[in-house]
Structures are given as structure tokens and as C-alpha cells.
Chain A
Amino acid sequence: MSHEITLQAALAGGPVPQEVREHLESCAACREELAELRSIERELVTATPAAPRVAAWEEGLVRGLAAHERPSLRWMPLAASLLLAAGLLAGWLAGHRSGAGASAAPLASSSIEEPARGLADLAVLAPVDEDSTAELLQMAEPLAQDIPQTPPAALENYLSPAGNGGWNG
């Protein structure tokens, strides 16, 4: 058995194997080095930094962790898209209703003769409420064709946590 293997086994804790004991009995150099390394070991234990507990840090950590709901980044792009779509729909409906209301109001009769602008254009195109959804989808179809079918490479990386060095990796 080599000196190094002997010393590793002797420092590993637990019962010392017979062959290690025999080597140590016959090798003064190993006995001497083992004594020195064990001395360092004991010193290390007592040299543990006596850092005081940082109560404020711990308390802040507890509150932060208890309150923290880390959102899953995987769904963030989808959530953002849905929010955007909902916002556009709400905006269009608001414009549609205000346009319809204006046509019924006496003061709005003059505004019908003016050129329609922005969302008011959509109100002109929308015939009645029950068809508004289908109309909106029809109008959105050309826009949807402009959206790339595959996400850009950067987004692909973002959507794949495994590629970002997961915490098991």
C-alpha cells in the first residue's frame, strides 16, 4: 500500500483498515505526516469563522422567500402575448362602442360626415355586435401572417431552461 493511499484512508474517518494500520506501524514517515495532518485538521475545526448570526439578513431572507413567488419564465412570453392581445381587443371594443354611441347621439351626427380616424375606422367596418368577433378575426388574419412561425434563436434559448444550465446541471 502506498504512503498516500495509507494517509488518505487514515484521514477518512471511521475504522482504520488492517492493512493501513500495518503500514503505519512499519512506516515512521507516514506516522509523522499523519500526525501533522491531523493537527491541521483539528486547527481547522477551531479556526471556523466565529461570524455572528446576521439576524437581520436571516429575517429579510425569510420574509423575502415566504413572499416570493418566482414566476415561471417559460410562460412569460405567452403571458405577455395574451396581455397584449387582450389590451388590443379591449381597445378595439371601446372604440367600437364609442363609435356606435356617437352615431346615436344627436351631436354625433355631424361627426359621421368627418373622415374616420384610427379605431373609428374599425367601428365603421364593424356592422353589428354579433358579428364583431368574426370581423375582428378576419381583419387580424393578414397581420397574423406577418408573425414568424418559429421564434428567433434568442427567444428559443429563453424558452428552454435546460439550455441555461439548470440547477441540477
Chain B
Amino acid sequence: MEEAGVRWLEALKSRDEEAVRRLVSTYGEPLRRYLTAMLRNPADGEDLAQEVFLRFLDGLGGFRGEASVKTYLFTIAHNLALNHLSSSARTHEVFPGEVPDGPSREAGPGHEVQAGERAEALRLALSRLPPQQRSVVVLRTWQDLSFKEIASAMGLAEGTAKAHYFFALRNLRKRLEAGHEP
């Protein structure tokens, strides 16, 4: 790890505000997005993202820099998300409609409306994948983690992470096709 990185971690241990600000501004949004996708609930995503940071800072004494900070944070996030999912039967799904990124139905040309609907359908299908598959897809496509990093974060073999990814894409395709059937 570079010297600047070591200094930053030391500053984080003493909860230096600027160091914490850098941590949150770099990883807050990716974590919030990942956890919202995993939990299908923005409020839970925010709560758990906060818990990820708390656990990371509390455990910094044991962080030896073998994994990147990003992988370490997502490891904590993944474990917390699975614990949360297993301990609560969450059935409401606000995730798909929470953050529409396409134009509204009233606005824009027809193909843009279709693109927005397609994106929403895809997010809905993603939210219904099994947690492990959902996690791999989000980490791969939204967080741009390598399969090696994903495997590390999820405690899997790299080949298993790749297999989850393949079956997740296949599942998504099937769900999208099923959604288009009359």
C-alpha cells in the first residue's frame, strides 16, 4: 500500500474528519446503491451503508491492506446484506421504481419511453434474482469489480463467482422474455 494510503488509514483510525469525508465521498454512494439493490429498500440501504462504515472503522486495527479498501468495504456490505435478508422477510419492493433513470411516460419520444421501461423491467428482474446472483451482477456491472474482487468480497472461488454471473444473466434474459409475453 502506498504511503499516502497508509497515512489516510492512520487518519481514519483517529476518525479525522477529512479522512472520513474522503472515505464517505468515495464509497458512500456505491455502497448505498449496492445495498439498496440487495435489500430492495433505500432506507435499509442507507442504514446498512452506515453500519458498513462503522464496522470498517472499528476494525481498522485488523486491516492489513491485503485487500483493497473497496473490496473490504464490499465484503462487509455483502455479509451484512445477507444477514439482513436472512433475518427479515422483506416483501415490499420499492427498488425498481425508486430511481427511475429514464424519461417519464409523458415526456420524450417513444423509443426513449421504451428504453426507460426496459431499464425498469431489467431492474425489477434483477431485484428478483437470488441474493448471490444479484450481488455478483451488481458488483460486476454497477461497481465494476473484477471477478477476483467479487470472489474475495463474497467469500467464493473465482470460478463460482463467474458461474453465478452467467446464471444470473441467463435468469435475467428469461425473466425479461417472460415479461414480454402476453
Q: Which residues of A contact B (CB under 8 A)?
A: 4, 7-9, 11-13, 33, 36-37, 40-41, 43-51, 53-54, 57-58, 61-70, 165, 167-169
Answer yes or no: B44 CB below 8 A from chain A CBs. Answer: no
Q: Are B166 and A65 in contact (CB under 8 A)?
A: no
Known: A49-B123, A65-B15, A66-B17. 10 other contacts (CB 8 A): A8-B162, A47-B123, A51-B99, A57-B46, A61-B49, A65-B20, A65-B53, A66-B16, A68-B54, A70-B58
Which residue from chain A places its CB closest to the CB of B166 in the assembled complex?
A8
Which residue from chain A places its CB closest to the CB of B116 in the assembled complex?
A47
Answer yes or no: B98 CB below 8 A from chain A CBs. Answer: yes
Chain A facing B: main interface SS: helix
- Name B12-46 residues within 8 Å CB distance of A: 15-17, 20-21, 23-25, 28-29, 32-33, 36-37, 46
Given known A-B contacts A47-B119, A58-B28, A37 and B99 have beta carbons under 8 A apart: no
Q: Report chain B residues within 8 Å CB of A61.
A: 24, 28, 49-50, 53
Please, how many angstroms separate the alpha-carbon atoms of A67 and B54 in the complex?
Answer: 11
Please, how many angstroms separate the alpha-carbon atoms of A137 and B153 in the complex?
Answer: 55
Answer yes or no: B169 CB below 8 A from chain A CBs. Answer: yes
Q: Report chain B residues within 8 Å CB of A47.
A: 101, 118-119, 122-123, 126
Q: Report chain A residues within 8 Å CB of B37.
A: 49
Q: How far is the CB of A157 from chain B (nearest CB, A)?
A: 17
Q: Are B55 and A167 in contact (CB under 8 A)?
A: yes
User: Can you identify 21 A-B contacts, CB atoms within 8 angstroms?
Assistant: A11-B165, A11-B169, A12-B165, A13-B146, A33-B170, A44-B172, A45-B141, A47-B101, A47-B119, A47-B123, A49-B36, A51-B32, A53-B29, A61-B49, A62-B24, A65-B20, A66-B20, A70-B58, A165-B83, A167-B59, A168-B62
Which residue from chain B places its CB closest to the CB of A61 in the assembled complex?
B24
Which residue from chain B places its CB closest to the CB of A167 in the assembled complex?
B55
Q: Report chain A residues within 8 Å CB of B17.
A: 62-63, 66
- Name B112-162 residues within 8 Å CB distance of A: 118-119, 122-123, 126, 137, 141-142, 146-147, 162
Answer yes or no: B69 CB below 8 A from chain A CBs. Answer: no
Please, how many angstroms separate the alpha-carbon atoms of A44 and B129 in the complex?
Answer: 14
Q: Are B169 and A65 in contact (CB under 8 A)?
A: no
Q: How far is the CB of B75 from chain A (nearest CB, A)?
A: 9
The count of residues in chain B whose C-beta lies closer than 8 Å to any C-beta of chain A is 49
Partner of B122, one of A36, A43, A62: A43
Which residue from chain B places its CB closest to the CB of A38 in the assembled complex?
B169
Partner of A11, one of B23, B57, B162: B162
Partner of B172, one of A40, A45, A53, A68: A40
Q: Report chain B residues within 8 Å CB of A69.
A: 15
Q: Are A65 and B24 in contact (CB under 8 A)?
A: yes
Please, how many angstroms separate the alpha-carbon atoms of A148 and B98 in the complex?
Answer: 55
Q: How far is the CB of A21 from chain B (nearest CB, A)?
A: 17
Please, how many angstroms separate the alpha-carbon atoms of A167 and B75 in the complex?
Answer: 9
Partner of B163, one of A8, A46, A67: A8
In this complex, the member of A40, A45, A64 whose beta carbon has the largest number of chain B beta carbons within 10 angstroms is A40
Partner of A51, one of B98, B146, B147: B98
Q: Report chain A residues within 8 Å CB of B118.
A: 43, 47
Please, how many angstroms separate the alpha-carbon atoms of A66 and B54 in the complex?
Answer: 10
